Structure 1
């Protein structure tokens, strides 16, 4: 297992290093510089708070191409009835806080540590991370956040306090930004996102798309 040097921001090349079951490296820190560099390489942190940081680049990778978005008839009716309203970057702190605190089926606790939250809030303040908020009658009922790297959106986490809130927010985001996004990185498989058209692709294909559409590289 490749151990990171805390005094140097670097990672093994995920194009040639497979790691162990998608884990590329361990250790390091959660500084904004390291997080931003990692995501530009297609690497993301995922670990249990209190344990050593694990850095992942799984193969295959779970993604959604905007042109492959699937919207069911029932969801289209909900969107057409304006059950929800949407905004972007209006309440990043509340979105990420809810993503940390929301109870999830089959999970005990959260992988989203306070330190990682602080880093993403800083990235948001630098204009690198964004949030999508879903409102119902003026109350925040859903949303998600992630990093924008050129034409690639790296989704991190989402939450919903009422049925269909996060799904509606995701559909709205994809349809609104369809022309400016090449791909949405969903990282790991969920049935929720698979129902919306997300699918697995080879790591090599994902990294090629990421590098070709990363305007900041």
Structure 2
């Protein structure tokens, strides 16, 4: 393991060091510097690396061990929540308001955090990824009101989740469960959730060794991609249909 993070050169096409060489303390810190250009971001995700840093810091690049993931057939909703969903009129769509979702994620309060890591530069970088067909959002609506959502990066048949939010109670759970349903239908087995927390565990997230995760990612990112917006392919999904999702 490295004692210090690798300093990235200015060339956005420069390779990252092997993710397995990331630091132990802080867990997973691999590299520092560079930029959030499209080629660098796509290169990072293809190798199981993601950016995460606070305002005023240079870009920090991470690959923690172990890694939090969701299997798309194992996202769980509590029995009580599933009963409530039977009466829900919410609808879920994709890629109809990406910028609104990422802005809502930036404003969402996080336990133990002050401010947001989704800086203006980070926000613009992912909007650019979205415009190029690489980043996607899943959105939960109550009529015309956006009440929850999730966004992330898709490469091949691998989805790298970045952040989610609830404008109303349960909105983020519905977005995650709907994403898992569609990805499972498309033959995508995994959603990267990056770093563990109790909430993700409660929804069915599990930890896998970094080496295992990297092996899985290496195979999935080279599968034929789904290009462009997901709006048509995802269609509209009724939240009430998620009442049959697995229970804990």
TM-score range relative to shorter protein: over 0.9
CA distance in 2, matches of 1:103, 1:196: 19
| Number of the residue aligned with 2:211 | 204
Deviation of 1:216 after TM superposition, in Å, equals: 6.0
The question of whether the paired residues in 2 share the 8 Å contact of 1:75 and 1:168 is answered with no
Taking only aligned residues, the RMSD between alpha carbons, in angstroms, comes to 1.5
Select 2:150's aligned residue among 138, 144, 148.
144
CA distance in 1, matches of 2:190, 2:223: 16
Select 1:11's aligned residue among 13, 16, 26.
16
Deviation of 1:66 after TM superposition, in Å, equals: 1.4
The question of whether the paired residues in 1 share the 8 Å contact of 2:73 and 2:181 is answered with no
CA distance in 2, matches of 1:194, 1:121: 29
Alignment deviations for residues 24-51 of structure 1 (CA, whole Å, 9 cap, x no partner): 1111111111111100010001111111
CA distance in 1, matches of 2:121, 2:64: 23
Q: Does 1:26 align with 2:32?
A: yes
Deviation of 1:186 after TM superposition, in Å, equals: 0.1
CA distance in 2, matches of 1:186, 1:11: 21
| Number of the residue aligned with 2:136 | 130
CA distance in 2, matches of 1:3, 1:216: 31
Deviation of 1:198 after TM superposition, in Å, equals: 0.4
TM-score when scaled to structure 1?
0.94
Any gaps of 5 or more consecutive residues in structure 1? none
SS in 1 for 2:18: coil
CA distance in 2, matches of 1:3, 1:80: 51
SS in 1 for 2:211: helix
Any gaps of 5 or more consecutive residues in structure 2? 225-248
Task: Tell me: CA distance 1:44–1:86, structure 2 relative to 1, closer, same or farther (3 Å).
Answer: same
CA distance in 2, matches of 1:39, 1:213: 12
- Size of the aligned set, in residue pairs, is 216
The question of whether the paired residues in 2 share the 8 Å contact of 1:63 and 1:184 is answered with yes
TM-score when scaled to structure 2?
0.83
Runs of 4 or more, structure 1, over 3 Å off, are none
| Number of the residue aligned with 2:105 | 99
CA distance in 1, matches of 2:80, 2:182: 19
The question of whether the paired residues in 2 share the 8 Å contact of 1:79 and 1:168 is answered with no
